[in-house]
Amino acid sequence: MPRPAAQIDAIETRILDLPTIRGHVLSMTTMHVQTIVLVTLRFADGSIGLGEGTTIGGLSYGAESPESIRSAIDTYLAPILMGQDGDAVAARMAAIDAHLVGNPIARCAVETALWDAKASRLDLSVADLFGGPVRHGLPIVWTLASGDTARDIEEAEKMLEARRHRDFKLKIGRRDVREDVAHVAAIVRAVENRASVRVDVNQHWSIDQARWGLAALEEAGVTMAEQPVAATDLPAMADLSRQCRLAILADEALRGPGDAYRVARGRAGTALAVKVGQSGGLVRAREVMAIGQAAGLSLYGGTMLETGVCTAAAMQLFCTGPDLEWGCELFGPLLLTEDILAQPLQYTDFEIRLPDGPGIGVALDLDKVDAFDRERGSTLHRITA
């Protein structure tokens, strides 16, 4: 009997270590390398699907690490998928969900690969499968995080000059609050009337530090503050959302629709950072957006500093969904000395463009994938019969 065209024949995972263009200084870690898990699904008809599971700074950002993402896929998710019909994406994810708690980034990586392959087999884009694009580009934020004020200002000037970015996010929370406020205020002054500035504290402030720090940042002209206090402290996020004029963005607090519901119900933010990895995949990210929209919260397209693979997948979704009032920060490929795509994503006129073509709209440069592969080899589940 012929095998169904979309039968899942092989699942391959690889860890890639990709150097960054400069140190990226966050409150919880300094990145010099971004480590990603690349997932390739292979199907009976020769089609393939790409997915990516990426976090930040090992275990310093969240509960999944690159190694745990790969191990979750190899040990638990791959055996559930092997030999099954890859066109039935919802059924495949339901089978996975029967055996999976948490691990949203691992879940996202395999779901993305299923969507990429299904759309490619139909000669459609993933955006088409999600209803078709309502826009083809999004305003793109850049993170200034060299750790040095003068260098950040120089970098901002270059981005403005190149018409690449005019919205900047500053990573703060590592230094004393007063030093952080002085650093941010200097950058706001330097780009005044030409660019907007927002901050991301990555949970590092206490409520008292946040109350004082946010008032000072508001005074300096900052437009938005991302996850100023612990993700678990929804009441503190709600207090700050009521007290501040600047937007308060929930980020680490959002690991899928359930969290989005709790944040919306508790008004624990005025805006949501929608991250496809952190949400558990494209469908759940769309649900996060719908919950935010229904609750009257504004939306922002977030990133885990992924390569072009997950960045393209996120664009497929963000270009179909509701308005992203705060734009997006899908600049991950630009933070890497080299991305792994055959054709780079387009960043032009302060926007990232939706890639054309079937699936998520990108193909790999396999020489680069090999060059950055941590082990120069992959874990492969393959049907041999």
State the Cα–Cα distance between residues 184 and 57, nearest whole angstrom.
Answer: 23
Q: Between residue 237 and residue 276, which ones bind ligand MUC under the rule CB under 6 A? A: 251
* Nearest distance, CB of residue 207 and Mg ion, angstroms: 18
Closer to ligand MUC at the Cβ: 171 or 211? 171
Query: What is the β-pairing status of strands 137-139 and 351-353?
Result: antiparallel
| Integer-rounded Cα radius of gyration of the chain | 20
Work out what residue 12 binds among Mg ion, ligand MUC, none; the CB cut-off runs from 5 to 8 Å by kind.
none
Would you count residue 34 as binding ligand MUC (CB under 6 A)?
no
Residue 64 as a binder of ligand MUC (CB under 6 A): the answer is no
Q: How far is the CB of 125 from ligand MUC (least distance, A)?
A: 25
Helix (H, G, I), strand (E, B) or coil at 107: helix
Considering only residues 212 through 231, tell me which ones interact with Mg ion, judged by CB under 5 A: 226
Using the minimum distance from each CB to Mg ion, give the nearer residue, 149 or 278.
278
Both tokens of 369, joined, read 């994938």
Minimum separation from the CB atom of position 70 to ligand MUC (A): 21
Query: Tokens at residue 187, please?
Result: 């950058």
Identify what 64 binds: Mg ion, ligand MUC, none; CB under 5 to 8 Å per kind: none
- How many residues bind Mg ion (CB under 5 A)? The answer is 3
Number of residues that bind ligand MUC (CB under 6 A): 11
Calpha distance 68→273 (Å, rounded): 24
- Shortest gap between Cβ of 292 and ligand MUC (angstroms)? 16
The yes or no reply on residue 200 touching Mg ion (CB under 5 A) is yes
Q: State which residue has the least CB distance to Mg ion.
A: 251
Spatial distance between the Cα atoms of 312 and 360, rounded to a whole number of angstroms: 6
Question: In what helix (H) or strand (E) does residue 37 lie, and over which residues does it extend?
Answer: strand 30-43
Closest by CA position to 202, among listed 218, 180, 221, 179? 180
How far apart, in Å, are the Cα atoms of 266 and each of 200, 229, 241? 21, 15, 10
**Interface with ligand MUC, residue 143, by CB under 6 A:** yes
Residue nearest to ligand MUC (CB): 143
Residue range at the interface with ligand MUC (CB under 6 A); choices 3-11, 32-40, 178-186, 302-310: 302-310
Based on CB atoms, which residue is closest to Mg ion, 112 or 303? 303
Tell me, residue by residue from 153 to 192, as one string, x for binding to ligand MUC by CB under 6 A and - for no binding: ------------------x---------------------
Q: Which residues does 276 contact at the CB level (< 8 Å), separation at least 6?
A: 108, 112, 282, 285, 310, 313, 314, 317
Q: Quote the CA–CA distance of 314 and 8 in Å, as a whole number.
A: 23
Q: Is the dihedral of CA 180, 139, 23, 28 positive or negative?
A: positive
Active site residue 118: no
The catalytically annotated residue of 118, 158, 169, 171 is 171
Stretch in the footprint of ligand MUC (CB under 6 A) among 2-10, 63-71, 300-308, 364-372? 300-308
Asked whether position 56 contacts ligand MUC by CB under 6 A, the answer is: yes
Phi, psi (deg, nearest 5) at residue 249: -105, 125
C-alpha pair distances (Å), 69 with each of 66, 184, 218, 257, 305? 5, 35, 38, 20, 16
For 183, list phi and psi in degrees, rounded to 5.
-60, -50
User: Please, which of residues 103-132 interact with ligand MUC by CB under 6 A?
Assistant: none
Binding window for ligand MUC (CB under 6 A); candidates: 122-130, 159-167, 255-263, 297-305: 297-305
Whole-number Å distance between alpha carbons of 148 and 26: 12
The residues assigned a catalytic role are 171
> Under the rule (CB under 6 A), what is the footprint of ligand MUC?
56, 143, 145, 171, 200, 202, 251, 302-303, 305, 329
